[in-house]
Amino acid sequence: MPFLSLPEDPAMLRFADGEVTFHYLLSTPSCQTFVHAAANAAHFESAPTGSTASRHRKRLSVGSRSSKARSRAASLVQSDGGAASCHKELELDPNYPIVFFLPSESFSCAHLFADQLADPELARRFNLVAIDPRGHGLTKDIPIRPDAQRGYDLDVKAADIATFIQRLCNRAVPGRDLDAPPAWSKEVHLLGCSMSGLVALRIASKCPDLVTSVMFTSPILELESEFMIESFQGIKELIEETWYEVHHGELAGTPAEAVKMPGEVVQGCTYRWAGDESIPHHISSYLNKTWVERLILHKDGNKAARDWWFDLYWLRSRMPDEARNAIRCHLFVVEGDSSPLYDRTVGGDYKALFPNCKSFEHATIEDAPFLLSVTRPDALTGAALRFLNRFGDAAATAPVTATATATAPSSASLTVAEHEQGPTVDEAVDALTGDERFQLIKVYAPNCLPSSDDDFESDDDDDEEDEGDDDEYEEQIEDDYLSASGDAGLSSTSTTTTTKAAMYRRDSSASYQTDVPTVVVDKDVDGGAYSSITMVTTVETFMSAEAADRQRQQERAKHLPDLVQSLEIGV
């Protein structure tokens, strides 16, 4: 499958070597790559030579990309704006509209939207383009230019993807200059998740005549609360500490496969996405491995942590009014009503932000956490199809009856006629690199891989140590909980118990005062304290010392079991 190189643009913070090469996967109605993968991934060979997926996986070194992937990337570096020379390269079908899928937070394009990409109805009616933005999936890491004056912010990410969309659309027109204004007569829809929803809105502002709609799933606030910013400060410091230990400290020389992300980071992020639910193991495994490779093992990982992920939170700014007013597309926001990130749904906030959008629709999924594409894939796919059915190009290919189903068709139905001179689905799959095949196998047939490939298994010794530490943590919870009520005549009493997976850093000598849930469990690190979970929301009241003592005993009996049960230990 192809890579596409973007032109050098120092003003937009290109790579240190002056090149950004995007990896992407493409499905067309006549060559349904993801539907085929969902039905046949368990039978994929990892390379045309016939080696199996599991054997190929064992050959992969940490942070590597196959030589075939590199050579394919090189073959698409254009100097004359002409079409790529790769034999039978799969291109967009100009007879159908496009849906671009934009992942967020280091997800691979194939992981975050796996169910939507393999939905037969979407695959039959649209070109589906899954993008690996900078720092995601098989797209290169983010070594920042030494002379860069800015971090990897939302505007840079939007400029990257807008240039990619322009070049990909133009490549479908023989002889057209890749850097000319995009020549595309059908509809263009953007589906962005979380942070990439904000990116999609910026693309729509830059390309108002191209983008038909923006679908924003799992929305976040345009500007994060101090609660979220401080939680990411804690994550950043944990990652930087681990990076230092691996490169200069006690973990120097540790085999790469033995290095793991701090448990607080993994558990905090997975709670953010799924709340008390779990996410598929192959996804948590992939993310853990990706973060280790790019933020811990990489020689510039500590800089990447600052310049890539966290600057998107700390330095995030609102879109200027001029940019907001330039958005004239349709806007659809869909979210779960039980997200652990916020105490309310936030999608409706976007209606007032974009007064010139052609239409605005806000949908909520009942009893659903934050990351809908993974935790409620069928509901998200159905919502997207209902929204897309309103448009002319999509409606023309929509079924008269029957709603969309996420069930993959049998392999017998996957024999697809060759579209013009393009590849058949089998030829397109044969063109996949070993890395690409492995990604699709991990997504659509994770059980066919050995469990040792998941890189997320807990060591037995570590499990025993964690169990041995449980009593100490429970005692600490009890002590902190009782002391939190204060002494003398003034007392803080707990009225609400909640669990939020977010990390804070505070000085050991300081009294932590906040309007957000109070931190009650600490781990001392380097003169400060990392707090692993926030649990108790407090309300200040005045009472006598005797009454406060009685209240403490009542609250202890009432809440302590819940606190112990809800604790997620990540150390």
CATH code of the domain covering residue 375: 3.40.50.1820
Cβ neighbours around 469 below 10 Å, total: 12
Query: Same domain for 218 and 136?
Result: yes
Alpha-carbon distance of 59 to 50, in angstroms, equals: 14
200 found inside a domain: yes
DSSP 8-state class, residue 307: I
Q: By CB neighbour count within 10 A (0-12 exposed, 13-18 middle, 19+ buried), where does 250 fall?
A: exposed
Q: Helices H, strands E: what count in the chain?
A: 21, 14
| Nearest-angstrom CA–CA distance, 88 and 2 | 11
Q: Looking at the structure, do residues 131 and 217 belong to the same domain, yes or no?
A: yes
Do 508 and 448 belong to one domain? no
- CA within 13 Å, CB half, 348: 6
Q: Are residues 385 and 472 in the same domain?
A: no
Distance CA 568, CA 207 (A): 44
Within-domain flag for 459: no
The low-confidence residues of the chain, meaning pLDDT below 70, are: 1-2, 6-19, 44-88, 141-146, 148-150, 307-310, 393-422, 449-571
- Give a yes or no: residue 396 inside a domain: yes
Q: What is the pLDDT of residues 393-423, one digit of tens each?
A: 665 565 543 333 333 333 323 333 333 456 7
> Is residue 434 domain-shared with residue 362, that is, in the same domain?
yes
- Note whether 43 and 184 are same-domain residues: yes
Query: Which tokens go with 125?
Result: 């009616």
Same domain, 237 and 216: no
Token pair listed for 365: 């999924």
Strands 528-531 and 534-542: unpaired
**What pLDDT is attached to residue 143?**
60
Q: What strands lie across the sheet with 188-193, from one edge to the other?
A: 3-6, 20-27, 127-132, 98-102, 188-193, 213-217, 330-336, 359-365
> Domain total for the chain?
3
- The angle formed by the CA atoms of residues 313, 150 and 314, to the nearest 5 degrees, is 15
Q: Which of 296, 312, 328 is the last residue of a domain?
A: 312
What is the span of the domain harbouring residue 191? Answer: 3-226+313-400+428-454
Residue found by looking up tokens 């045309």 in the block: 48
Residue 489, pLDDT score:
32
Q: Where are the beta strands (DSSP E) in 86-204?
A: 98-102, 127-132, 188-193
440 within some domain:
yes
Q: Are 179 and 167 in contact (CB under 8 A)?
A: yes
Compute the distance between CA of residue 496 and CA of residue 499 in angstroms, rounded to an integer: 10
Indicate the residue among 286, 312, 338 that finishes a domain.
Answer: 312
Helices 281-291, 434-444: inter-axial angle, 10-degree rounding: 140
Q: How many residues belong to the chain?
A: 571
Among 271, 291, 312, the domain-final residue is: 312
Strand-pair partners of 129:
26, 100
Give the rounded distance of the alpha carbon of 67 from its chain centre: 26
How far apart are alpha carbons 55 and 449 in whole angstroms? 10
DSSP string, 39-75: HHGGG-BSSTT--BHHHHHHHPPTT---HHHHHHHHH
Both 337 and 442 in one domain: the answer is yes
Sign of CA dihedral 5, 203, 24, 415: negative
pLDDT (0 to 100) of residue 347: 92
User: What pairs with residue 542 in β-bridges?
Assistant: 490
Residues 153 and 290: their CA atoms lie apart, in Å, by: 20
Q: Do 287 and 327 lie in a common domain?
A: no
Same domain, 219 and 368: yes
Task: Kindly provide the b/e burial profile for residues 399-413, where b requires at least 16 CB atoms within 10 angstroms of the residue's own CB.
Answer: eeeeebebebeeeee
Longest dimension (CA), the chain: 86
62 contacts: CB under 8 Å, gap ≥ 6:
256, 257, 292, 293, 297
Q: What CA–CA distance (Å, rounded) separates 453 from 539?
A: 48
Cβ(271)–Cβ(570) below 8 Å = no
100 within domain boundaries: yes
Q: Which residues contact 13 (CB under 8 A, 6 or more apart)?
A: 144, 145, 148, 150, 152, 156
Q: Is residue 463 part of a domain?
A: no
* Alpha-carbon span 312 to 104, nearest angstrom: 11
Is there a single domain that holds both residue 127 and residue 24? yes
DSSP string, 111-129: HHTHHHHT-HHHHHHSEEE
Inside any domain, residue 10: yes
* 415 within a domain of the structure (yes/no): no
| Same domain, residue pair 445 and 376 | yes
Q: φ and ψ at 336, to 5 degrees?
A: -80, 150
